[in-house]
């Protein structure tokens, strides 16, 4: 049974995950290599707790979060380690090598990687059968779906333990049966992003109109009817006949679209640099973060059958 969890990496994802696990009664110890990240994590944890209150998620007794600046301390006695360091295989491998002699053979090591195959991460740890993908969606304290991915050497019991833990927390585990790059959530997202970037590049539509089209068209529906159920709603005959002429015209480029590489070269990275597809002031960024969290909470409450 999982009771003690170590979180390694307190950037965008770590604090929200820590807050959600503690709310479910787990003893969480959290660590980052950067002291500034540990300092920031306290405020991020409080903000996540406020959102969990707004979601009406009950507090299970015994749950708490403690921060530490020691790697040996964070993993000491942990039943589960969740690695949340940047999406870079070498950085992740360095963490696995560093904790290898500090954890017991029973400790499960889960990676929150967005899409690096778990099989390639398993090469860097002594007990690959205890390594698994546990891919949270951002913001992790609000989005209830978590992908669980087995690498080639992951034991079925490891997958079952993580799946049961997610269920016990009242969250939704999704089992990814093959260790494909990007898993499922990001493959679907990147297929969508490839298409919309292509449509904007070809001058078919303006970015604002893409956002309205997707958010208030298919996006609005998808939160209620999943894509496979949507196939049934539309009918196989319709999907078949549209696919015969549309599939050959859909974006299928293998490289990164020029729109993205040009923006990157110009330092226009999006919210983090103040400009990307749109422009942002620091006030607008704070306002967007509040507004998006509030709307995600409201929608989730409705979808779960609340008021």
- Where along the sequence are the contacts to ligand NAD (CB under 6 A)? 8-14, 32-34, 37, 84-87, 91, 94-95, 112-114, 135-136, 138
CB of 114 to ligand NAD, least distance (A): 3
CB of 240 to ligand NAD, least distance (A): 35
Residue listed under structure tokens 């790697």 = 71
Question: CA-CA distance, 135 to 60, in Å (whole number)?
Answer: 23
Q: Which is nearer to ligand NAD, 190 or 231 (CB)?
A: 190
Q: Which is nearer to ligand NAD, 10 or 52 (CB)?
A: 10
Specify whether the CB–CB gap between 131 and 125 falls below 8 A: yes
Q: Which is nearer to ligand NAD, 91 or 250 (CB)?
A: 91
Specify whether the CB–CB gap between 28 and 65 falls below 8 A: yes
Q: DSSP alpha helices (H): ranges in the chain?
A: 14-23, 35-54, 71-75, 89-100, 118-121, 156-168, 185-201, 207-213, 220-222, 227-234, 236-246, 258-265, 282-303
Name the residue with the smallest CB distance to ligand NAD: 11
CB of 246 to ligand NAD, least distance (A): 30
Q: Which is nearer to ligand NAD, 23 or 135 (CB)?
A: 135
Q: Which is nearer to ligand NAD, 128 or 182 (CB)?
A: 182
For 297, the 3-state DSSP assignment is helix
CB of 15 to ligand NAD, least distance (A): 9
CB of 155 to ligand NAD, least distance (A): 22
Specify whether the CB–CB gap between 112 and 13 falls below 8 A: yes
In what order do the strands lie in the sheet containing 172-176?
A: 64-68, 27-31, 4-8, 80-83, 108-111, 131-136, 145-150, 172-176
């Amino acid at each position: 049974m999982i009771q003690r969890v170590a979180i390694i990496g307190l950037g965008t994802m770590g604090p929200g995950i820590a807050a959600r696990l503690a709310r479910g009664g787990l003893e969480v110890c959290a660590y980052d290599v950067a002291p500034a990240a540990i300092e920031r994590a306290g405020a991020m944890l409080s903000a996540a707790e406020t959102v969990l209150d707004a979601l009406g998620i009950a507090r299970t007794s015994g749950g708490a979060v403690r921060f530490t600046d020691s790697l040996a301390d964070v993993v000491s006695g942990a039943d589960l380690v969740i690695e949340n360091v940047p999406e870079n295989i070498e950085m992740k491998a360095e963490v696995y090598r560093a904790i290898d002699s500090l954890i017991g053979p029973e400790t499960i090591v889960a990676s929150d990687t967005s899409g690096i195959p778990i099989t390639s991460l398993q090469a860097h740890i002594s007990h690959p059968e205890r390594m698994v993908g546990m891919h949270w969606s951002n913001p992790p304290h609000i989005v209830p779906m978590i992908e669980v991915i087995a690498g080639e050497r992951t034991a079925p019991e490891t997958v079952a333990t993580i799946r049961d833990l997610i269920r016990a927390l009242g969250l939704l585990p999704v089992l990814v049966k093959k260790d494909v790059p990007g898993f499922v959530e990001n493959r679907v997202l990147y297929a969508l992003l490839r298409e919309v970037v292509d449509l904007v590049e070809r001058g078919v539509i303006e970015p604002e109109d893409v956002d309205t089209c997707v958010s208030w068209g298919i996006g609005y529906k998808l939160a209620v009817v999943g894509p496979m159920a949507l196939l049934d709603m539309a009918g196989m005959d319709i999907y078949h006949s549209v696919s015969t002429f549309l599939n050959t015209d859909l974006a299928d480029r293998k490289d990164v679209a020029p729109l993205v590489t040009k923006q990157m070269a110009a330092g226009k990275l999006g919210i983090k640099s103040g400009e990307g597809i749109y422009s942002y002031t620091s006030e607008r960024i704070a306002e967007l973060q509040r507004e998006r969290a509030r709307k995600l909470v409201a929608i989730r409450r409705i979808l779960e059958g609340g008021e």
